[in-house]
């Protein structure tokens, strides 16, 4: 009997001693971090609402109870009963029965009504039919990403169970190391922005945190091949943790599977879906630009198949000596500050990922409250001493002004924007401004991936700011569904129509005008003097957006029908820059995050910022708060214990 089998047998005996005699346990298994209990008495298990909770806290594990296949009721019968139990208002769209595991996946418009107060409706379902219900939300806006990911995972269900079982055994293996130490090695994003990647090593475990590319510098990838990372073989990495879906953190995650990695990826559910969307787009852009991407869509599918989604606040065993907890980072949908508890009270490290400290329209500000933290690995994008941003209120006022002036001139407002994050933030500003008559009602056209990214946001309202979530949940006034928002899905013809029409606002990718439908909008509107090109995001050196900000007004563009033909647009539009809509904390926000952190860490590694920003921020934390700070270079290793 292997060690894990023995452990499972012991656990089974312990469970049997804890529960009433008339409830049987037929099997216990690990599936990823979860302990799955199979029973012939699922109804009795469900009767006592506290039973599973008590077991979970006693065993210190996440627990799922499933029926033994013998006792399952007929799906047809079960379906009828489930439909009786769930209130009609829940909007059940689909019931999907899996006889191999006794699970029924319930897709509904309002999952809360399927779950019931503290899970009461779910328990009622199990009590009545014996099946284990699992609930997913029908996106209020149809999302091809969400449905593709769900269909793919359904189709790969069996293989996924094998993966989870294998991962579960690795997580719960016996600890072999007789020493205890903790090290972090920097593989990228040190004294630079881009290619975020770190290795967290203990004597027992190796964890890779993020694996991004460096936008505009395709050759510069994280130092994955050093012995501390994948150099000694990808199979030596126990787990990959992804803080959020931006490509400078996620682009090269699929590449790991090409290198032979076969383990889990931990991230939030929205991060998984956005990673799918953004990495597939990354491949698409590479091939359009004639570059050979480092992996293909098969590896993106592998990454999705190996993802174990966690919710904020779930304390999860990811190795025999490491527990991981995600907390809201306030940066983009699903972004997470990642907290690692190592050993039994040995050491605690938090990786900030990218954060926004103050509340925005979309998200609550980043969480900085932890049971314990000795070391913080901290982003410093705007850590420079002069990196202060305009207050968002002022920025919103300016945007409203620009729109009103353009409207009075009978013009159109064209806004280049990133699909994920800033677009939805601006949508919320526009929706409110129209609702409160600060700007006239007019169509807001959304072009490029913006619509799809918005659909993913509406699928996961739990990850949005409290009051926004409540509007989506309770009042049936989902602001993303406001009438003025129009998805440009008719291509060039529809753009032409909009260009020929009256005043409107257009949000289009790419955010830095490096390609995408914004180029087509430039051709349509570039010569209109009374229209306004309005920048709401950072424009990097070398991008067309930056050049226009610097005064370029003769823009070379390709003919969309014949790419070999180039012509020039004389830009006559008004140019406006409205900053303050960043997804990142500014210098003050970064300082506040550390200053008010509870508990205050002993050491801070300042990363993810250019040389000047990290040095400034590191020395400020040292002088003002008397902390031990570092501004590491790439490929440095720190020993903490």
CB of 635 to Zn ion, least distance (A): 22
Count of alpha carbons within 13 Å of 82, Cβ hemisphere only? Answer: 35
- Smallest gap, in angstroms, from Cβ of residue 613 to Zn ion? 15
Tell me if 608 is assigned to a ligand binding site: yes
Query: What are φ and ψ of residue 553, in 5° steps?
Result: -130, 5
Pick from 338, 335, 313: which is nearest to 241 by CA?
338
Cβ burial 309-338 (10 Å sphere, 16+ → b, else e): bbebeeebbbbbbbbbbbbbbbbbbbbbbb
- The CB-of-593 to Zn ion minimum distance in angstroms stands at 15
At its nearest, how many Å lie between Zn ion and the CB of residue 360?
A: 14
Q: Nearest distance from residue 246's CB to Zn ion, in Å?
A: 3
Whichever of 264 and 583 has its CB closer to Zn ion, that residue is: 583
Select 103 or 354, whichever has its Cβ closest to Zn ion: 354
Confirm or deny that 354 is annotated as ligand binding: yes
CB of 382 to Zn ion, least distance (A): 12
**Residue 476, annotated as binding a ligand:** no
Long-range own/partner contacts, residues 17-23 (CB < 8 A, 24 or more apart): 18/54, 18/55, 18/58, 19/45, 19/51, 19/55, 20/44
Cβ atoms of 366 and 329 within 8 Å: the answer is: yes
Tokens of 622: 């040292």
Compare residues 354 and 447 and give the one whose CB is closer to Zn ion: 354
Please, which residue, 212 or 526, has the CB nearer to Zn ion? 212
Question: Which x/- pattern over 342-361 shows residues binding Zn ion (rule: CB under 5 A)?
Answer: ------------x-------
Separation CA 637–CA 183 (nearest Å): 7
Structure-block tokens of residue 605: 């590694």
Which of the stretches 67-75, 240-248, 392-400, 434-442 binds Zn ion when contact is defined by CB under 5 A?
240-248
3-state helix, strand, coil in the chain (%, to 5): 40, 20, 40
- 329/498 with CB nearer Zn ion: 329
Interface mask toward Zn ion for 134-173; x: CB under 5 A:
----------------------------------------
Nearer to Zn ion, 379 or 576 (CB): 379
From CA 554, how far away is CA 352, in angstroms rounded?
42
Q: How far apart are CB 543 and Zn ion at their closest, in Å?
A: 17
User: What is d(CA 278, CA 287) in angstroms, rounded to the nearest whole number?
Assistant: 14
Q: Is 266 helix (H, G, I), strand (E, B) or coil?
A: strand
Q: Sign of the C-alpha dihedral, residues 279, 285, 289, 290?
A: positive
| Residue 528 contacts Zn ion per CB under 5 A | no
CB of 537 vs Zn ion, minimal distance in Å: 12
**Identified binder of Zn ion from the candidate list 160, 172, 214, 246, rule CB under 5 A:** 246
Do 1 and 23 touch, CB atoms closer than 8 A?
Answer: no
**Which parts are annotated binding residues?**
244, 246, 248-249, 331, 354, 608
Q: Give me the residues that bind Zn ion (CB under 5 A), please.
A: 246, 354
């Amino acid at each position: 009997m292997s060690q894990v089998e023995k452990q499972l047998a012991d656990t089974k005996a312990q469970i049997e001693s804890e529960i009433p005699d008339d409830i049987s346990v037929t099997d216990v298994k690990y599936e990823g971090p979860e302990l799955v209990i199979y029973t012939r008495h699922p109804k009795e298990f469900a009767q006592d609402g506290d039973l599973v909770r008590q077991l979970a806290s006693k065993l210190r594990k996440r627990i799922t109870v499933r029926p033994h296949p013998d006792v399952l009721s007929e799906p047809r019968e079960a379906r009828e009963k489930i439909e009786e139990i769930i209130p009609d208002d829940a909007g059940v769209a689909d019931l999907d029965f899996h006889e191999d595991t006794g699970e029924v996946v319930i897709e509904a418009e309002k999952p809360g009504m399927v779950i019931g107060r503290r899970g009461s409706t779910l328990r009622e379902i199990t009590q009545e039919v014996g099946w284990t219900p699992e609930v997913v939300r029908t996106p209020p806006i149809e999302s091809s990403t969400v449905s593709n990911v769900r269909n793919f995972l359904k189709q790969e269900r069996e293989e996924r169970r094998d993966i989870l079982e294998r991962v579960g055994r690795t997580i719960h293996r016996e600890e072999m190391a007789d020493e205890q130490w903790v090290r972090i090695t920097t593989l990228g994003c040190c004294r630079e922005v881009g290619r975020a990647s770190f290795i967290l090593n203990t004597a027992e475990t190796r964890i890779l945190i993020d694996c991004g590319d460096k936008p505009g510098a395709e050759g510069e990838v994280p130092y994955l091949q050093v012995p501390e990372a994948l150099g000694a073989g990808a199979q030596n990495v126990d787990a990959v943790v992804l803080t959020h879906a931006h490509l400078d953190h996620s682009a090269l995650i699929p590449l790991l599977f090409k290198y032979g990695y076969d383990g889990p990826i931990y991230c939030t559910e929205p991060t998984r879906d956005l990673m799918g969307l953004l990495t597939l787009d990354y491949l698409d852009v590479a091939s359009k630009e004639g570059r050979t991407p480092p992996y293909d869509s098969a590896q993106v599918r592998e990454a999705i198949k190996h993802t174990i989604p966690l919710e904020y606040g779930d304390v999860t065993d990811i190795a025999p000596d490491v527990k991981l907890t995600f907390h809201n980072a306030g940066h983009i949908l699903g972004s997470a500050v990642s907290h690692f508890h190592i050993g039994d009270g040995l050491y605690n490290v938090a990786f900030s990922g990218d954060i926004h400290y103050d509340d925005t329209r979309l998200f609550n500000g980043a969480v900085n409250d932890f049971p314990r933290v000795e070391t913080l690995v901290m982003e410093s994008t705007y850590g420079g001493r002069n990196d202060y941003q305009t207050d968002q209120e002022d920025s919103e006022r300016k945007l409203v002004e620009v729109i009103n002036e353009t409207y009075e001139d009978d013009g159109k407002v064209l806004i280049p924007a990133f699909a994920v994050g800033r677009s939805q933030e601006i949508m919320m500003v526009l929706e409110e401004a129209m609702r409160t008559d600060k700007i006239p009602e007019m169509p807001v056209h959304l072009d490029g991936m913006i619509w799809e990214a918005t659909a993913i946001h509406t699928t996961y309202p739990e990850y949005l700011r409290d009051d926004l979530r409540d509007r989506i949940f309770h009042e049936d006034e989902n602001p993303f569904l406001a009438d003025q928002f129009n998805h440009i899905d008719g291509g060039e013809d529809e753009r032409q129509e909009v260009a020929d029409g009256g005043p409107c606002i257009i949000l289009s990718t790419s955010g830095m005008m490096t390609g995408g439908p914004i180029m087509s909008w430039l051709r349509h509107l570039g010569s209109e003097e009374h229209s306004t090109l309005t920048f709401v995001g950072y424009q990097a050196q070398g991008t067309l957006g930056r050049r226009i900000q610097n005064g370029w007004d003769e823009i070379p563009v390709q003919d969309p029908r014949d790419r070999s033909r180039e012509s020039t647009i004389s830009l006559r539009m008004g140019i406006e820059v409205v900053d303050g809509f960043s997804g990142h904390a500014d210098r003050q926000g970064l300082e506040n995050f550390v200053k008010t952190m509870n508990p205050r860490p002993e050491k801070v590694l300042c990363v993810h910022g250019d040389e000047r920003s990290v040095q400034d921020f590191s020395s400020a934390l040292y002088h003002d708060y008397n902390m031990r700070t570092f501004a590491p270079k790439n490929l440095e290793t720190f020993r903490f214990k």
